Amino acid sequence: MVVHTPPLGWNSWNTFGEEINETVIKESADMLISTGLAALGYRYVVLDDCWSLKERDANGRLVADPAKFPHGMKAVADYIHGRGLKFGMYSCAGMHTCAGYPGSFDHEWIDAQTLAEWEVDFLKYDYCFHPQTVPGAVLYKRMALALANCGRDILFSACSWGADATKTWIKETGASMWRTTGDINDSWRSIKELSLVAGDATRYGSINCFPDMDMLVVGMNGRGNVGFAGCSTEEYRTHFSLWALLGSPLMIGCDIRSMDHETRSILMNRDVLDINQDPAYHQAFDASPSALKEHNEMPIYVRLLSSGDLAIGFFNLTDEPSSRWNMYLLLDGIGLPESTGKTLHLRELWTGDEKIVTNGIVTEQIPPHGCRLYRAQIIDR
């Protein structure tokens, strides 16, 4: 299968961890529809770790835990498909999943067959407890090959946390997305750490192989399985802006059955989603004066969109307010010198503020952990 834009959806792990069951999955699927999230493109309902029994059956097949999923997985898939959504599941390249359930090592083909019979559409494939004798690239090839021959289109989502230089071999494997880092948690510190690493990794991304910066923590507000300190609304906005602009899949991780107004306004910002889903999928680049720093904490990411517009994000990941002398963008440096007779009309996608650049430079003062995300149209000077 060919996946043209970063997948969007919801995943059970961040909020529910081991506490998953048929009701949670069905209610979350229903909420994707009733909130309008599905209409915006959030279509994958992904059931993460802890869904199976701890032992395979006599034929070596994985068994859904009957206490959590009393009607079996095919019934869950039918429910999700009945609402026009897609069903994602989870397994692992090792002998066990990260939470200690059976992994798919040496069972790749039978598991791919089982997933196809259950009519699964997406497989997140983790990296815990994998044999040291088989390289990661081969482990992911083994499952990719089994999926490609299982008779059903199943999007393959690799989750090896960027380990073993995943970015350098992932495109060989058949995966349509890969995790760039270890696990996110619901804190500013985690968002910052992950984005500093992912900024480098995203250059390896392309259509059909998207850099997965991990599930979103927007709206968790310190609750749930990876709910730590929680974040402010501004921090969640910065998080979402970074993930969207850098072209990551956007998998919601909060409990969508109880989203507040702020959470909805972030996850459902159509203008920001349009940037993430831009069909050209050109790579973002850092155009800030400090772009050459290894982990640049004041990046200005610029991305050419298919319409000819630019997406421009100013991010202040430091704990100090930025001054206009350390957050400035020269139009010259992004391919728009004065000699063209052109300039930019900027529209900020969180506030709606508009401005026209008059002197070839955009300066910003951004609060700590804040951002400004623009869609820029090229106009005559």
- Is 157 in a helix, a strand, or coil? strand
Closest approach, Cβ 110 to ligand GLA, in A, equals 21
Which position among 49, 111, 126, 212 bears the catalytic label?
A: 126
Task: Identify which of residues 227 and 313 has a Cβ nearer to ligand GLA in the complex.
Answer: 227
Per DSSP, which regions of the chain are E strands? 8-11, 44-46, 86-92, 122-126, 155-158, 177-179, 210-212, 250-252, 285-286, 300-304, 310-315, 328-330, 342-348, 354-356, 361-363, 371-380
Contact map string, positions 73 to 112, toward ligand GLA, x by CB under 6 A: ------------------------xxx-------------
Task: Identify which of residues 92 and 287 has a Cβ nearer to ligand GLA in the complex.
Answer: 92
Residues 183-242 touching ligand GLA, rule: CB under 6 A, are: 183
Residue 380: how many other CB atoms lie within 10 Å: 7
Alpha-carbon gap, residue 136 to 138, rounded angstroms: 5
Which position among 30, 65, 78, 183 bears the catalytic label?
A: 183
Task: Identify which of residues 98 and 147 has a Cβ nearer to ligand GLA in the complex.
Answer: 98
Report which of 70, 22, 249 is spatially closest to residue 30, judged by C-alpha positions: 22
Residues 149-188 touching ligand GLA, rule: CB under 6 A, are: 159, 161, 183
Closest approach, Cβ 49 to ligand GLA, in A, equals 3
Q: How many residues bind ligand GLA (CB under 6 A)?
A: 10
Task: Identify which of residues 161 and 285 has a Cβ nearer to ligand GLA in the complex.
Answer: 161
Closest approach, Cβ 321 to ligand GLA, in A, equals 34
Active site residue 183: yes
209 DSSP 8-state letter: B
Alpha-carbon gap, residue 96 to 58, rounded angstroms: 18
Closest approach, Cβ 98 to ligand GLA, in A, equals 3
Closest approach, Cβ 368 to ligand GLA, in A, equals 28
183 DSSP 8-state letter: -
Task: Identify which of residues 194 and 331 has a Cβ nearer to ligand GLA in the complex.
Answer: 194
Q: Is 48 in the site for ligand GLA (CB under 6 A)?
A: yes
Active site residue 164: no
Task: Identify which of residues 127 and 301 has a Cβ nearer to ligand GLA in the complex.
Answer: 127
Report which of 105, 170, 163 is spatially closest to residue 133, judged by C-alpha positions: 105
Closest approach, Cβ 159 to ligand GLA, in A, equals 5
CA distances from 205 to 4, 61, 167, 213, 302 (A): 12, 34, 8, 11, 16
> Pairing state of beta strands 44-46 and 250-252?
unpaired
Residues 107-136 touching ligand GLA, rule: CB under 6 A, are: 126
* Residue written as token pair 């100013």: 314
Alpha-carbon gap, residue 72 to 90, rounded angstroms: 15
* CA angle in degrees (0–180, nearest 5) for 186-230-266: 80
Q: How many CA atoms lie within 13 A of 32 on its CB side?
A: 29
Q: Which residues are catalytic?
A: 126, 183
Which residues bind to ligand GLA, rule: CB under 6 A? 13, 48-49, 97-99, 126, 159, 161, 183
